[in-house]
Chain A
Amino acid sequence: MTAVRVLLIAVGIGIAGYGVALALDEPRVILFRMVVWALVGVVLHDLVFAPVCVALGFAGRRLIPQKWWGPVALAALCSVVLVMLAIPVFDKPGMRPDNLTVLDRDYHAGLWISLAIVWACVPLYLLAARLLPLRKR
């Protein structure tokens, strides 16, 4: 297995190195903006998004009855994903007046409807779990 790992590491460094070599041909200012974009993404995740999730999880475990934890956590995860997908379309920042075939849905309604469906599933799931003879965990 060691040989496989060494080989994989060499291949991985080679591929990543090729990408870096390509990027180094960009003007310095472009390269700088790319690196900043990636680093800001990491910082936003590690130091903003993740701590907020911890805080919400901490609060949730104290405020919400235990049997609700599972479905509420899943609904929260789905909501995060919905919001991420909605950000680039919600207020149509990429809209151009000459092309009405892009961003041609009502994304406000789309986000609220999908969030409503996700959260409606929480009580429905708990109701179903009570009524149906589901096996215990």
Chain B
Amino acid sequence: MAVLRSTPVTARVGVWLGAAVAVCFVTGLFSHFIQHPQPWFYWPTRPVWLYRLTQGLHVVSGIAAIPLLVVKLWSVWPKLFERPYLGGLVRQLERGSILVLVGAMIFQLSTGLMNIAQWYAFRFFFTTSHYEMAYVAAGAVIVHIAVKLPVIRRALGEPLDTGVPDTYRGISRRTVLRGTWLAVGLATVLTAGQTVPLLRKVSLLAPRSGKGPQGVPINRTAVSAGVLASARSPDYRLTVTNGDRSHAFTVAELAALPQVTRSLPIACVEGWSADGEWTGVVLADLVAAVGGSADADVRMISLEPPGPYSRTVLPARHARDSHTLIALQLNGETLALDHGYPCRLIAPSRPGVLQTKWLSRIEVVQP
């Protein structure tokens, strides 16, 4: 057995890689099912930072998996050239499953890392392909663990230096493991500042510094949404409807309603997040003003021309929450155009992409 590229090293790094993949997969599913609601899926409104935490963990665990995958593949790479190259059916199945596993992992980590930097060099749609391949990767990991379970158990039960000759004087296995944890820590510190304010200054490779208008970054700008004129038009109205009942508010009328200030994070699917002090009208008050039920879902429609994110449905649980605002101000200033002026949705524990900006209509969904 080679001293460094050895099963005791592979198994130990594998445990951590497996943990990172598990966290990444589960938090990714949370994010998916919030955006594609299913009757059986329950997503709470408290704590308000829950989505910030889960999606932050999704990106942090994915980035942590990069050094873990590098070391894990390094530790088993010579097996690629073990004979027989093809062998019988069982051998081919084993090799094929490893190919699927490695391919899916590389696919997930590379596309995820590129997505947070908004670099779409691949010519397929990110969200659907990342979601589909996530199942392939997770399933392949589970099969791999099952196949290797006896080897893993034996390796973890033995001391790290099992099989190392006394005469060996090179790099120790312990050094390899410590180096791996060090690389994981380094990768985390250099990128996690986009969601952990304490690390902001040292996250030299984070796609976002955390700066932005009114102290909050943006993803979709007013220019790319095509709302520069409509958002600033004197004819602007926010229309709130409940079946036949409807009420149109001017910006001044919205500002004249009772205003509430809430501290809520905005947390992007891309893993960055920031706290904001949002001031505006409680959504439930607007819904009540047109006689809407507290048990109804509420549809948010943007001034933005129809597209995947120009309208969203807010579940009743979030719609009736006293922290859910139609915000007119951010951090004490009138909402910047890029933050959704004249008004936007801000609800607790939701992905930023569903916090609809430049609202034009709010519809109480009829049962």
Which residues of A come within 8 Å of B, CB atoms? 1, 4-6, 8-9, 11-20, 22-23, 26, 30, 33-34, 37-39, 41-42, 45-46, 50, 53, 61, 66, 69-70, 73-74, 77-78, 80-82, 84-86, 88-89, 92-96, 98-99, 101-105, 107, 109-111, 113-114, 118, 137
> Could you tell me which residues of chain B, from 274 to 307, have a CB within 8 Å of some CB in chain A?
none
Q: B175 touching A12 by the CB < 8 A rule?
A: no
Cα of A20 to Cα of B221 in the assembled complex, Å = 35
Determine which residue in B138, B171, B211 has the highest number of CB atoms from chain A within 10 A of its CB, and name it.
B171
Tell me, yes or no, whether B142 is within 8 Å of chain A by CB: yes
Which residues of the other chain, A, contact B171 by a CB distance below 8 angstroms? 69-70, 73
> Could you tell me which residues of chain B, from 104 to 131, have a CB within 8 Å of some CB in chain A?
104, 106-107, 110-111, 113-114, 116-125, 128-129, 131
Interface size, chain B (Cβ < 8 Å): 83
B155-188: CB near A (< 8 Å → 1, else 0) gives 0000000000000011110111011101100110
Q: B135 touching A22 by the CB < 8 A rule?
A: yes
Tell me, yes or no, whether B356 is within 8 Å of chain A by CB: no
SS class, residues of chain B in contact with chain A: helix
CB contacts between A and B, total, < 8 Å: 223
Q: When the two chains form the complex, which single residue of A19, A34, A105 contacts B206, counting CB atoms closer than 8 Å?
A: A105
Cα of A113 to Cα of B201 in the assembled complex, Å = 13
Tell me, yes or no, whether B3 is within 8 Å of chain A by CB: no
Q: B183 touching A78 by the CB < 8 A rule?
A: yes
SS class, residues of chain A in contact with chain B: helix
Q: B146 touching A12 by the CB < 8 A rule?
A: yes
Q: B219 touching A99 by the CB < 8 A rule?
A: yes
Q: A88 touching B136 by the CB < 8 A rule?
A: no
B76 to chain A, nearest CB (A): 10
Q: When the two chains form the complex, which single residue of A4, A12, A69, A98 contacts B143, counting CB atoms closer than 8 Å?
A: A12
Q: When the two chains form the complex, which single residue of B74, B169, B180 contacts A50, counting CB atoms closer than 8 Å?
A: B74
Which residues of the other chain, A, contact B191 by a CB distance below 8 angstroms? 85
Q: When the two chains form the complex, which single residue of B120, B190, B211 contacts A82, counting CB atoms closer than 8 Å?
A: B190
Q: A16 touching B186 by the CB < 8 A rule?
A: no
Which residues of the other chain, A, contact B104 by a CB distance below 8 angstroms? 38
